Amino acid sequence: MTLRKITCSYVSIFPVVLILMTGFGAAVFAQETSSKAYQQAYAYILSEQWPEAQKAFGDFLDRFPKSNFADAAHYWQCYTRDKMGEDQESVFKCYQDFIASFPKSKWVKDAKANLVNIGYDLVKQGKQQYASIVKGLEGSDDEEVKLAALYALGDIGNEQSYEAIVKLYDQSQNENIRSKIVYVLGNFETQKAMKKLADIAANDPDVKVKKDAVYAMGNSDGPEAFSALSGIVRSTIDKEVRKAALYALANSESDAVSQLLGEVARTDPDHELAKAATYSLGNSSSDKATVELKRIIKESTQKEVREAAMYAFGNRGDAQSVSVLQDIALNDKDISLRKASAYALGNISGAGSVEALKLIIAKSSDAEVQEAALHSMGNTDDPSAKEFLMTMAETNPNDQIAKTAIYALGNLSDGNEAEMMLDIFQKAKSIEVRKQALYQIGNEDDKVSIPALGKIVQEQNDPELTLAAIYALGNTGNDGAVPFLQGVAKNQSDRKLRSAAVNALGQIGTENARKALEELLGIQQKE
């Protein structure tokens, strides 16, 4: 009896379970189908095919009116109607119906923002009945709606819209919205707007908003903007805001701006602001800016600011800049500035910079300045620099100058550095210079380096040069150097050279180098 009851219960329950499972599966299948259909329709939105999108979403709602994507589909129907240029009042009504039907949809904020934009257009067309609706939307807490209202007001651009924007700023506790407001205010380009932006730059509690207000003023070329920005620069407000005003002013090429920047650079006790003014001047190619940069170099009492002026000339890279930097390198009383000007010349391509560097090397009585000029030549792409540096390396009686020329040549990469260094090794009279050429060959590690150094090791009679060649072979880190070093370690009579060769093999550290060292120690190699 018990068994029969259990069996009967099982049989009677099974169809119910099957039905439930079948219903669940059907729901899942339907959801997956609607999701796929939605994505296909949405693809038309992404490709901006508005008629196709509108039809696809209409078909979607016919097939899946209760889908989880129904609200989105209704939203996109309104959106595509707007994009297709349908009557704005009917589109406005479409969005209103959507908001009423789906008040909790994630698309409601976007719908309200679009309503604001359309509403302002309708008001501009004389349909004042929409003004109260728009005003009600503006009073919401949605940031997107407020921003939509802000941009719409900015597009209108009249006195009433200006007053509404200022009111929105004064009431806003949201830093992001205030930041957007200042850019919209910058488009008005009126004295009243510039005065408001200057007030924001001075008094807004957020530094970013202050700086944004400054940049908004900088987008205007009018006298009102210059007056407002000049006032900020000369004020005692936050340094970062004053610096932003300097950079904003730099967008102008006017003589008045150059004069102001030059004044700040020469006289402001804060070296950061003075440098910012100097760099801003460097972005201008006007004659007045050139005059002001020269004055900074001559009159500023801050060394960092004078250096900034020199590098500003270097970044400009014209013939006049080359002339100014050459004069400083040869005649300034401060050696660090003379060196800095030589380095700055290395940042200039063409405009006679290489000729100026040659003149500095020839006429300067200071070896440090000459070395700076040589290093700068190594940073240029001028073909004549290579020939000059080769001559300096081979013939200059000052070993340090000649070696510096070798370093500079190393920066002029053209694929045959080892051959250049071999030429210097063969022609230079100074043993120190010849050794430096060998070290440079070892640093190159190209197909010429190892055979050339190996030949020197085998044939050179001067122990100092042989030692330098051994060190250079070790620096290559290349297996090709192993036989040459092994030969020295086995056959050279000079104990110092043999020891150097062993050390070089250890420095190379490859499997072949290890075997060579084991052989030297008499360790039998395993088969």
| DSSP E strand stretches across 198-291 | none
Cα–Cα dist 158/324, whole Å: 50
Q: Which domain holds residue 502?
A: 429-527
Q: What pLDDT, in 10s, does the model give residues 263-319? A: 999 999 999 999 999 998 888 888 899 999 999 998 999 999 998 998 888 888 788
What pLDDT is attached to residue 329?
93
Does residue 59 form part of some domain?
no
As a whole number of Å, the end-to-end CA separation of the chain is 86
Averaged pLDDT, 429-436 = 92
What pLDDT is attached to residue 396?
92
Instruction: Give the domain CATH number at 521.
Output: 1.25.10.10
Does residue 462 form part of some domain?
yes
Say which range, 11-15, 262-266, 486-490, 494-498, has the weakest mean pLDDT: 11-15
Q: What pLDDT, in 10s, does the model give residues 510-519? A: 899 899 898 8
Above 80 in pLDDT, residue 412?
no
Point out the domain boundary residue: 219, 249, 279. Answer: 249
Point out the domain boundary residue: 228, 249, 270. Answer: 249
Percent of the chain with pLDDT over 70: 87
Point out the domain boundary residue: 203, 226, 249. Answer: 249
Say which range, 18-22, 82-86, 212-216, 221-225, has the weakest mean pLDDT: 18-22
What pLDDT is attached to residue 372?
94
What pLDDT is attached to residue 50?
93
Instruction: Determine contact, residues 380/354, Cβ cutoff 8 Å.
Output: yes
* Total tally of structural domains belonging to the chain: 2
What pLDDT is attached to residue 55?
93
Q: What pLDDT, in 10s, does the model give residues 135-185? A: 665 555 565 666 565 666 666 666 777 887 788 788 788 888 888 888 888
Cα–Cα dist 404/374, whole Å: 7
Does residue 290 form part of some domain?
no
Does residue 469 form part of some domain?
yes
Does residue 49 form part of some domain?
no
In angstroms, the Cα distances linking 526 to 443, 515, 517, 519, 523 are 34, 10, 14, 11, 9
Q: What pLDDT, in 10s, does the model give residues 114-123? A: 877 787 778 7
Average pLDDT, the chain: 83
Does residue 70 form part of some domain?
no
Above 60 in pLDDT, residue 188?
yes
Q: What pLDDT, in 10s, does the model give residues 357-388? A: 999 999 998 999 999 999 999 888 778 888 89
pLDDT tier for residue 12 given thresholds of 50, 70 and 90: very low
What pLDDT is attached to residue 5?
35
Averaged pLDDT, 340-358 = 88
Q: Is the dihedral of CA 341, 346, 347, 349 positive or negative?
A: positive
Does residue 511 form part of some domain?
yes
Which burial class, exposed, middle or buried, applies to 415 when counting CB atoms under 10 A from its CB (0-12, 13-18, 19+)?
exposed
What pLDDT is attached to residue 169?
85
